[in-house]
Amino acid sequence: MNPASSDHLSAAIRSQGARLNLQEDQMSALQQGVRMLGGSQEEFRSGMTAQVTILTTQIEQVLAHLTKNPSATPSPATAAAPPVPATHALTPHLAPPEKISGESGECRSFIVDCEMHYEQLPSAFPTEKSKVAFMISHLTGRARDWATAEWSRGSPICQSGDWFIEALRVFDPTTSGRETARKLSSIRQGKDSVSDYAIRFRTLATDSGWNSTALYDAFIKGLAESIQDLLVPLDLPEDLDSLIALAVRTDHRLTERKRDKSQATVFLDHARGRPSPASHGWRDSIRSSSPVPRRATPPSYSEEPMQLGRAKLSAEERRRRRLQEGRCFYCGQGHLLAACPVKGRAHQLEKGFWVSHSSTSDSPSHSLTDIQVKHHDITVSLGVLIDSGADESFMDWDFAQKLNVKTEPLSLPLEASALDGSFIFKVTHVTEPVEVTIEDHHELMSFHLMHSAQHPLILGFPWLKRHNPHIDWCSGKVMGWGRPGVGAGLDLNKKVEIGVVADLNSASVLPHTDLKVDRPDLTSIPSCYHDLGEVFLKSKAMSLPPHRPYDCPIELIPGASIPKGGYIPFRALRR
């Protein structure tokens, strides 16, 4: 064959192949255009259907309105009526659902919100895909990424709202009935109000599958002890809803009663001239009054809380009420008549004894002693009140929290009272040992906790008895500490923990008549030996050290062991 002819034939074939490829591309583009046109027609048809549905609804509403009000129908001779205004005001106004990201616990409320929109606004969602699009538009985060991918690939779940809802529940797995029942059986009111407890109880009861009797008993079991005690004498309703309502009312009345009692206590303290602990610290300033005795009057009957729509309680009603609530017949407080402090004080006042609770404004201020408190890496310097009238050493709650001190509850709470026996406050906790430093004196000690913003730290009589210090009460400075063998002398460099040194607590305390402190002259002594100042006291040089039942070792080389050698007979030495 001629080579020229073959080249011409090859070129023709290549030309035909290129035309075929071009035709295939054109056919593909044409098919894509047809599909897009079909989709546009579908959307147009859906939009038209929605518009027709809305118009049909509006026409039906207008016809119904005209049917109810026939007098409003215009006569034939009347001119054409104005156009009927839009009836959008007749449709319910629902808040849009909260957007969710697929976190656990969000999908359930979101699905309920969407179903409410579908039910109340059916005209706004004419097709299933419109429901799916509405839900996807309210998704965020990983839930939106998943829904967008499903919509883009034309997933079947995007063709039905119910299918999409079932797929959406994957993000919020439901709790099994057994797990819900276990939570419901262990639910307790705790420190919450009955209203909050009822909300948590109803939320779990919805998915528990329990019958009404089981739910009734479980709700009573979870109530606080105080509420259960108040429900004991009452006739309980038979259904759960009425029981919850009764418990809520009881809780509200109990809260109001506690508030009224606290207000009445403050009013009585103010009326009797008793200063509050918050305004005068933890101690009452007590002074003697004139010898003229005063008569104590019983508390007025205005202490009873006022209720709207009710008259004042009679004496018999008040007595019966206090008997039911277990309160004192005399003062109305939470104790028995035999232990009433108000009645006891009234009996003493009738005999001619009276102690005032008022404090004088010109009372001298206490001189505080400088102290340093250290706990771990926190060190605080402040002035401490040394009080021989305090039976324990105290620390303020806020100051203890500032030091991050751990607290322990007392096995038996202590009650602090004034000289006349009136109650001041209750002590329920004690701190862990903390390091305290007064000049060159160090020790570890625990404090009882109370609320005292004026004096955050108080050293009481047990501390004075244990150390027997010489104190300059004008300046508050500790001039010296108890002598060894007298009182409870301590090594100044030895740390002692309260409660461990039992022999010091039981030691006797003798008064010191010589208030002059013997201090050594350290002017000619090197500073490195100043911590051994007692060695250079002249008074120490005139006395022998205390006898010890053991020998005091003298180490020439610290830590060196005693040399050991062979046994040498005594006879050999004599020869």
Q: Is residue 95 part of a domain?
A: no
Do 37 and 132 fall into the same domain?
A: no
**pLDDT at residue number 35:** 80
- Averaged pLDDT, 482-500: 41
Considering 69-78, 212-221, 323-332, the range whose residues carry the highest mean pLDDT is: 212-221
Do 380 and 490 fall into the same domain?
A: yes
**pLDDT at residue number 437:** 93
Do 514 and 397 fall into the same domain?
A: yes
Token couple for 336? 């028995």
Find, among 278, 303, 287, 262, the residue nearest to 424 by Cα.
Answer: 278
CA 539/CA 550 separation, integer angstroms: 25
Given a contact cutoff of 8 angstroms between Cβ atoms, the answer to whether 396 and 384 are in contact is no
Residue 153 pLDDT class (50, 70, 90 cuts): confident
Q: Is residue 541 part of a domain?
A: no
Residue 507 pLDDT class (50, 70, 90 cuts): very low
Q: How far is CA 420 from the centre of its chain?
A: 37
200-218 pLDDT, tens digit each: 888 888 777 788 888 888 8
pLDDT of 97 strictly over 80:
yes
- Averaged pLDDT, 225-241: 87
**pLDDT at residue number 445:** 92
**pLDDT at residue number 4:** 66
CATH of the domain at 487: 2.40.70.10
Structure pTM?
0.29
Query: At 168, which helix (H) or strand (E)?
Result: helix 161-168
Residue 490 pLDDT class (50, 70, 90 cuts): very low
- Integer angstrom CA distances of residue 135 from 5, 51, 105, 110, 151: 69, 21, 17, 9, 12
**pLDDT at residue number 395:** 93
**Is residue 408 packed enough to be buried (19+ CB in 10 Å), middle (13-18) or exposed (0-12)?**
exposed
**pLDDT at residue number 449:** 92
270-311 pLDDT, tens digit each: 545 554 444 444 444 333 333 444 444 444 444 444 444 445
Do 418 and 512 fall into the same domain?
A: yes
**pLDDT at residue number 312:** 57
Given a contact cutoff of 8 angstroms between Cβ atoms, the answer to whether 384 and 457 are in contact is yes
Do 514 and 434 fall into the same domain?
A: yes
CATH of the domain at 214: 1.10.1200
Q: Is residue 20 part of a domain?
A: no
DSSP code string of 13-34: HHHHHHHHHHHHHHHHHHHHHH
CA 95/CA 120 separation, integer angstroms: 12
pLDDT of 564 strictly over 90:
no
CA 337/CA 494 separation, integer angstroms: 52
pLDDT of 545 strictly over 80:
no
Please give the residue range of the domain that contains residue 54.
Answer: 28-69
Do 256 and 204 fall into the same domain?
A: yes
Token couple for 172? 């919020």
- Averaged pLDDT, 539-565: 74
Give the number of other Cβ atoms within 10 Å of residue 427's Cβ: 15
**pLDDT at residue number 278:** 43
Residue at a domain's end among 147, 171, 195: 171
**Is residue 286 packed enough to be buried (19+ CB in 10 Å), middle (13-18) or exposed (0-12)?**
middle
pLDDT of 541 strictly over 60:
yes
- Averaged pLDDT, 459-487: 80
Do 446 and 483 fall into the same domain?
A: yes
Considering 171-175, 260-264, 284-288, the range whose residues carry the highest mean pLDDT is: 260-264
pLDDT of 149 strictly over 80:
yes
Q: Is residue 360 part of a domain?
A: no
Percent of the chain with pLDDT over 70: 70
Do 382 and 409 fall into the same domain?
A: yes
**Is residue 227 packed enough to be buried (19+ CB in 10 Å), middle (13-18) or exposed (0-12)?**
buried
Give the number of other Cβ atoms within 10 Å of residue 382's Cβ: 14
Q: Is residue 76 part of a domain?
A: no
How many domains is the chain built from? 5
Percent of the chain with pLDDT over 90: 8
Do 381 and 250 fall into the same domain?
A: no
Q: Is residue 382 part of a domain?
A: yes
Residue at a domain's end among 15, 44, 69: 69
Do 327 and 442 fall into the same domain?
A: no
Do 118 and 57 fall into the same domain?
A: no
Q: Is residue 539 part of a domain?
A: no
- Averaged pLDDT, 119-126: 85
**pLDDT at residue number 322:** 74
Least confident of 37-51, 166-180, 262-276, 314-328: 262-276
**pLDDT at residue number 2:** 66
Least confident of 166-170, 426-430, 538-542, 571-575: 571-575
Q: Is residue 364 part of a domain?
A: no
Q: Reduced to 3 states, what is the DSSP secondary structure of residue 287?
A: strand
- Averaged pLDDT, 370-397: 89
**pLDDT at residue number 571:** 60
Round the average pLDDT of the chain to a whole number and report it. Answer: 74
DSSP code string of 118-182: HHH-GGG--SHHHHHHHHHTTB-HHHHHHHHHHHHTT-GGGG-HHHHHHHHGGGSPPPPHHHHHH
**pLDDT at residue number 334:** 66
Do 184 and 167 fall into the same domain?
A: no
Token couple for 281? 């610290």
pLDDT of 75 strictly over 50:
no
Residue 507 vs residue 414, higher pLDDT: 414
436-449 pLDDT, tens digit each: 999 888 899 999 99
- Averaged pLDDT, 86-99: 69
**pLDDT at residue number 34:** 81
- Averaged pLDDT, 444-459: 89
